[in-house]
Amino acid sequence: MSMKMSFVLAAAVACPLAFSQPNPALLNNKKAFVADLMGQMTLEEKVGQLRLISIGPEMPAPQLADEIAAGRVGGTFNSINHKEQRPLQEAAIRRSRLKIPMLFAYDVVHGHRTSFPIGLGLASTWNFEAVRRTARVAAVEASADGIDLTFSPTVDIARDPRWGRTSEGFGEDTFLVSQMARAMVHGFQNGSPAKRDSIMSSVKHFALYGAVEGGRDYNVVDMSPLRMYNDYLPPYRAAIDAGAGGVMIALNTVNGVPASANKWLLQDLLRKDWGFKGVTVSDHGAITELMRHGVARDEAEAAKLAIQAGVDMSMADQVYIKELPGLVKSGQVSQRDIDNAVREVLGAKFDMGLFADPFLRIGKAEDDPPDLKADSRLHRPDAREVAREALVLLENKEKTLPLKKGATVALVGPLADSQVDMLGVWSGQGVAKQTVTLRQGMGNVMGGQGKLLYARGANVTNDEAIVKYLNFLNWDEPEVVQDTRSPQAMIDEAVATANQADVIVAAVGEARGMSHESSSRTTLDLPESQQALLKALKATGKPLVLVLMNGRPLTLNWERENADAMLETWFAGTEGGNAIADVLFGDFNPSGKLPISLPRSVGQIPTYYNHPRLGRPFTPGKPGNYTSQYFDQPQGALYVFGHGLSYTDFTLSEVSLSSTSMKRGGKVEANVTVSNTGQRAGATVVQLYIQDVAASIVRPVKELKGFQKVMLQPGEQKTLSFPIDEKLLKFYDNQLRYVAEAGRFNVQIGLDSENVREGSFELK
Ligand code: BGC
């Protein structure tokens, strides 16, 4: 008997229907391929495909391989290397009856092995090509680790910085976040998730997760349809229109119904209105949580609600596998509901190229990288370039920055030499030890000139309960390690160090875990330990430069008054320290702009710039009664959306419009000349805002509708043209019709959202 024959016989004995399997002849026709395969599947096998297992806690590996072989698992997440994935894929391909490949998913959020800046940092670049590049690099690295699918990008609009996941998204503005969403999807998928070095993008968290009440994670979301359609939904749509193959469903409720049981959201809106053709995935354990939400009385009802709403894959939830077969048999769930979900899961696997080659991203054992963590697997130059663009110069009094490389610099602060914090959260396979701290970066950039002195000065916080909380989060080992000296001893050392220096650089902010999932805060001040340090440093009379590391807007009132310069660096990633040092010493001229307003206080939240117009708006300079204001604090953001300084100066000309009227289907161009009037080359972001002067519903005071980042040599000027068409003027009206209404539109162009040049035109 030939070897081949014996294999066929053995297979036939083990599984009598072994001849049934994905039909390679249909690989050029997705619909037919999937239909053919589904025609061969039992109910149990179908339900198995809907199950996404969390590697580790949910199931030990050997049991998992058996479950896969039994056709009871569709994919895993958190298996991030070939050695783990290969036996699982082999179990699917060699041992399961239908040989349906597994998919391997992971949270590739702002990089994989190389960490790029967190979402807020990426958005601060206002450079979608740079952002696309970060996702491309991440996809190359993640696919090389066998990953097929990422739960990213996070495009939740965040207007309440108490929410810890503000860090992960791209800020408060619909237009900017939508641009970033598109760039990320293009980067991950690179035209097709079937390419070996592409990964499928699953946009999240659908929907409205950023609007959790009070910024408290997992809290309810209750929102008018107008706000939903005009402000919060477009970024998800942008990602889907850019081709995102997946959608992760949010953990929150949407107007009374949890997203994971929300038929309107997942079917009427997502599938019917938007035409989404990909796969939906629940968030971690979300189906079980339907019981805690109080909309399902037991697991069976939870499974039924979720599948009927349109949750295709259940993540880290046993409910589908346990309940769905019985529910179908008893007629409570239709076969059609199961089939609809299975079709999408198989379709996604098809789109990822897994049926054509289940080992596409796993490869052969002999090609496995000998050292997964090898430095040669990182993309350091990309990380440094993008991180430099992500830094926002908030303040620079008397040209304190850039620093001289020959100076004696006192570097202080609990974040000055922290590798792990520089990574930010959701840092994939980023390795803390491979991350460049500010201390290392400044040393590198000073290159032996001048003197770099260092003192820690303070712990991130002295509040032991907070430290305990932060160390309780997922990490393998405690990452907030307290210096056990007394706070005063640390401050004394820092002050003594500062006294020997020409200038102080204080790296202050949050431990990375403070801006994470479930890390909501009630205050946004720097922790007291750091405030005390800064006050003592200020008393030395030396110039004080703050390097802020944080994952959300902080309230920086004292800091604005007292610091000579402030650089917002978010969490800047693997090359963060080098990138920040490049800016501090002037090797790179900062060009980042805020993607989110920085409030003066928590009481003032929400502080977003594009709020709806009011009948009694506060009028600057006229602090009259009966206007919309807080009487105990100056109005408006401390630093406005779009703000960010440079080491050079830019001026803008008046706005000139190609016409004062626009016909339906026509176009108006807004032109402005930007000049570099300073001494250095530099880039800035010219921002276009539009205000609909009178409409059938109350519209925002202004909305970002375009931007261009330009690089100019000293003395150079460029005329920029912003095309405005009818589509840019559209919004959802009271009947949720997407319309541009006739009337006057103000056009505002500026280098931030507040200081603008204006023009206007009429839509006929
Ligand atoms: C988060 C998701 C993430 C998932 C898997 C959840 O807790 O909300 O954003 O993709 O875990 O790690």
Q: What is the pLDDT of residue 5?
A: 35
Q: Give the residue extent of every domain in the chain.
A: 382-592, 650-763
- Which ligand 1 atom minimizes the distance to the CA of 168? 9
Picking from 613, 605, 606, the residue whose alpha carbon sits closest to that of residue 702 is 613
Asked if pLDDT for residue 10 goes beyond 60, the answer is: no
Q: How far apart are CA 431 and CA 435, in angstroms?
A: 7
423 three-state secondary structure: helix
Tell me the pLDDT band of 59, cut-offs 50, 70 and 90.
Answer: confident
Identify the CATH class of 382-592.
Answer: alpha beta
107 CA → ligand 1 middle, Å:
7
Q: What is the mean pLDDT of the segment spanning 171-175?
A: 98
55 CA → ligand 1 middle, Å:
13
CB 236 within 8 A of CB 180: no
Whether 752 is catalytic: no
CB 546 within 8 A of CB 416: no
Strands (E), 15-132: 51-54, 75-77, 103-106
352 CA → ligand 1 middle, Å:
21
Phi, psi values for residue 189, rounded to 5° = -95, -25
Tell me the pLDDT band of 387, cut-offs 50, 70 and 90.
Answer: very high
Tell me the pLDDT band of 19, cut-offs 50, 70 and 90.
Answer: very low
Ligand 1 mutation pick, 55, 166, 284, max ligand atoms within 8 A of CB: 284
H helical segments located in 97-152: 119-124, 128-144
Q: Let me know if 366 is exposed, middle or buried by CB neighbors in 10 A (0-12, 13-18, 19+).
A: exposed
Q: What is the mean pLDDT of the segment spanning 725-744?
A: 98
Tell me the pLDDT band of 16, cut-offs 50, 70 and 90.
Answer: very low
172 lines ligand 1 (CB under 6 A): no
151 lines ligand 1 (CB under 6 A): yes
312 lines ligand 1 (CB under 6 A): no
pLDDT, tens only, 610-642: 999 999 999 887 767 789 999 999 999 999 999
Tell me the pLDDT band of 474, cut-offs 50, 70 and 90.
Answer: low
Ligand 1 mutation pick, 52, 104, 107, 199, max ligand atoms within 8 A of CB: 107
Ligand 1 mutation pick, 54, 147, 203, 283, max ligand atoms within 8 A of CB: 283
Ligand 1 mutation pick, 517, 519, 520, max ligand atoms within 8 A of CB: 517
Q: What is the mean pLDDT of the segment spanning 62-83?
A: 94
Residue nearest to atom 12 of ligand 1 (CA): 107
Two tokens at 596? 């989110």
- Which ligand 1 atom minimizes the distance to the CA of 205? 9
* DSSP character at residue 92: I
Asked if pLDDT for residue 593 goes beyond 90, the answer is: yes
Q: Catalytic one among 107, 217, 231, 283?
A: 283
Q: What is the pLDDT of residue 721?
A: 98
Percent of the chain clearing pLDDT 70 (strictly above): 97
113 CA → ligand 1 middle, Å:
18
Lowest mean pLDDT among 151-160, 406-415, 622-631, 706-715: 622-631
Residue nearest to atom 8 of ligand 1 (CA): 283
Phi, psi values for residue 619, rounded to 5° = -110, 120
- Which ligand 1 atom minimizes the distance to the CA of 152? 10
Two tokens at 166? 């503000």
Phi, psi values for residue 566, rounded to 5° = -140, 130
Q: How far apart are CA 112 and CA 108, in angstroms?
A: 6
284 lines ligand 1 (CB under 6 A): yes
Q: What is the pLDDT of residue 623?
A: 65
Phi, psi values for residue 153, rounded to 5° = -85, 160
pLDDT, tens only, 353-370: 999 999 999 999 999 999
Q: CB under 8 Å to 90, separation ≥6 — which residues?
A: none
Q: What is the pLDDT of residue 65?
A: 95
Length in residues, the chain: 764
- Which ligand 1 atom minimizes the distance to the CA of 251? 8
Q: How far apart are CA 7 and CA 25, in angstroms?
A: 22
Q: How far apart are CA 400 and CA 544, in angstroms?
A: 9
Asked if pLDDT for residue 61 goes beyond 80, the answer is: no
Ligand 1 mutation pick, 58, 106, 112, 151, max ligand atoms within 8 A of CB: 151
Percent of the chain clearing pLDDT 90 (strictly above): 93
609 CA → ligand 1 middle, Å:
29
Residue nearest to atom 10 of ligand 1 (CA): 151
Q: What is the pLDDT of residue 58?
A: 73
Q: How far apart are CA 462 and CA 526, in angstroms?
A: 12
- Which ligand 1 atom minimizes the distance to the CA of 248? 10
Phi, psi values for residue 669, rounded to 5° = -110, 135
Asked if pLDDT for residue 712 goes beyond 70, the answer is: yes
Two tokens at 61? 């590996």
Q: What is the pLDDT of residue 602?
A: 98
Picking from 110, 62, 126, 49, the residue whose alpha carbon sits closest to that of residue 88 is 62
Q: In degrees to the nearest 10, what's the CA dihedral of 617, 618, 624, 629?
A: 110
Q: How far apart are CA 354 and CA 105, in angstroms?
A: 13
516 lines ligand 1 (CB under 6 A): no
Number of Cα atoms under 13 Å in the Cβ half of residue 288: 9
Asked if pLDDT for residue 6 goes beyond 50, the answer is: no
Residue nearest to atom 5 of ligand 1 (CA): 284
H helical segments located in 119-233: 119-124, 128-144, 174-189, 225-227
521 CA → ligand 1 middle, Å:
20
690 CA → ligand 1 middle, Å:
36
pLDDT, tens only, 408-454: 999 999 999 999 999 999 999 999 999 999 999 999 999 999 999 99
pTM value?
Answer: 0.96
Q: CB under 8 Å to 702, separation ≥6 — which residues?
A: 609, 610, 689, 690, 691, 746, 748, 753
pLDDT, tens only, 277-316: 999 999 999 999 999 999 999 999 999 999 999 999 999 9
Two tokens at 171? 């800020």
Residue nearest to atom 6 of ligand 1 (CA): 284
The CATH superfamily label for domain 650-763 reads Immunoglobulins (2.60.40.10)
Q: How far apart are CA 199 and CA 428, in angstroms?
A: 14
107 lines ligand 1 (CB under 6 A): yes
Asked if pLDDT for residue 475 goes beyond 90, the answer is: no
Q: What is the mean pLDDT of the segment spanning 172-200?
A: 98
Two tokens at 610? 């594009």
Residue 681 CB coordination number (10 Å)? 15
CB 648 within 8 A of CB 680: yes
Single-letter amino acid code for the residue at 594:
L
Q: What is the pLDDT of residue 60?
A: 79
Q: What is the mean pLDDT of the segment spanning 174-187?
A: 98
250 CA → ligand 1 middle, Å:
9
CB 536 within 8 A of CB 487: no
CA 315 from chain center: how many Å?
A: 20
Residue 316 CB coordination number (10 Å)? 21
Asked if pLDDT for residue 11 goes beyond 80, the answer is: no
- Which ligand 1 atom minimizes the distance to the CA of 154? 9
146 CA → ligand 1 middle, Å:
19
Concatenate the DSSP letters of all residues of 294-347 into one string: TS-SSHHHHHHHHHHHT--BEES-SHHHHHHHHHHHTTSS-HHHHHHHHHHHHH
204 lines ligand 1 (CB under 6 A): yes
Asked if pLDDT for residue 15 goes beyond 80, the answer is: no
Q: What is the mean pLDDT of the segment spanning 677-686?
A: 98
Q: What is the pLDDT of residue 8?
A: 34
Report CA-CA distances (Å) from 294 to 208, 256, 739.
20, 11, 38
Q: What is the pLDDT of residue 62?
A: 80
Q: Is the dihedral of CA 320, 326, 329, 332 positive or negative?
A: negative
CB 699 within 8 A of CB 663: no
280 CA → ligand 1 middle, Å:
14
Cis check for the bond before 402: say yes or no (omega within 30 of 0). yes
The mean pLDDT of the chain is 95
CB 342 within 8 A of CB 46: yes
CB 608 within 8 A of CB 176: no
- Which ligand 1 atom minimizes the distance to the CA of 204? 9
Q: What is the pLDDT of residue 7?
A: 34
- Which ligand 1 atom minimizes the distance to the CA of 316? 5
Residue nearest to atom 11 of ligand 1 (CA): 284
Residue nearest to atom 2 of ligand 1 (CA): 283
477 CA → ligand 1 middle, Å:
20
517 lines ligand 1 (CB under 6 A): yes
Q: How far apart are CA 284 and CA 105, in angstroms?
A: 13
Three-state secondary structure of 517-549: CCCCCCCCCCCHHHHHHHHHHHCCCCCEEEEEE
CA 358 from chain center: how many Å?
A: 29
283 CA → ligand 1 middle, Å:
6
**Helix 61-69 to helix 82-90 angle, to the nearest 10 degrees?**
30
